Amino acid sequence: MEAAVSSQPMPDSSSPKAGSPTRSSETEPALSKRQKKKLLKQQKWEEEKDLRKEKRKERKQQRRLQRQNQPEVERDSQISRKRPRGCLVPCSLKVVVDCSFDSLMLIKDVQKLQKQIQRCYAENRRATSPVQLYLTSFGGQLKDNMELKDKGWRNWKDITVEDKHYSEVLAKDELVYLTSDSPNVLKELDQTKAYVIGGLVDHNHHKGITFEKAKEFGIEHAQLPLSCFIKMNSRKVLAVNHVFEIILAYLEKGSWQEAFCTILPQRKGVEAVGCDTNTPQENNSESHSADKEEKIISCQHREWLAALIGLLLSRRKVQ
């Protein structure tokens, strides 16, 4: 009789034995402590997703109840923040946010710029004298991030968004670049001009770049009259939304000092000074003369001390 042939396949010698490590596990590098921590954090975030959703719903319900229980006076004050459409004052002044510095920024700085632009748009919509707002050279990381985080920007009203450079969108003779490095001080806003704000968040890594760009394209440039009206503990470089809001406040109030003191945050250490435009020059000359006198006195002290030390040393040698 023929021997019965087993139907079970013969074990493959090439297949890994039980308990022996596979090739994939041998080739995969071990995770570092930072990577493990990041992975655990991600897993925890995914697990708590539903919990966060529930908390958001609870907060939303609490806000709704608070609004219902609010007195009518407070409710009216909140409604008054919205711009009454019938009280608009037409404004021909143009403000341009130059977004051509996209390649010089990290993604976190691009995200900050996006928030600043959103703030500009919201403030312009609320303003009683809204300006003609332009975004130029719009593209790259900024556009991708806005598409990802805020697709509603495509429905924005009263704004012109262009992928072209501002020099191709507006006439050269009406452009004024606002930069803190300019020697020209802006005295008042001209309704026929278009004021350009550099859309750059770089933490002072590219100092003077907006001033150089203005000179490169041969357009006018100026700085806000900060030193004429206020003192600050920090540098004069302001965020995009702060410059924009100062322009809106000046158009509404007609006072640079009031606009600066209203808009600039407290961390800047803003302190009002005299409104005379000649004050900064006089202060500079006074401080310069005071520094000169201090230097002369310090030199005289050093000479007197050197003579005294020399006299003491000579007496010690004689003794």
Q: For this structure, is 202 an active site residue?
A: yes
Residue carrying the six token digits 């900060």: 226
Dihedral Cα 235, 236, 242, 243, nearest 10 deg? -160
Rounded to whole angstroms, the Cα distance separating 196 from 32 reads 47
CB 116 within 8 Å of CB 122: no
Residue 307 region by backbone torsions, left for phi larger than 0, else alpha for psi between -120 and 50, else beta: alpha
Nearest to 243 by CA among 303, 200, 278: 200
Please state, in angstroms and rounded to a whole number, the distance separating the CA atoms of residues 261 and 265. 8
Of 50, 202, 276, 291, the catalytic one is 202
Distance from C-alpha of 192 to C-alpha of 262, rounded to nearest angstrom? 25
Enter the tokens of residue 246. Answer: 């100062």
Q: At what angle do helices 140-149 and 107-126 cross, to 10 degrees?
A: 70
Indicate which residues carry an active-site annotation. Answer: 202
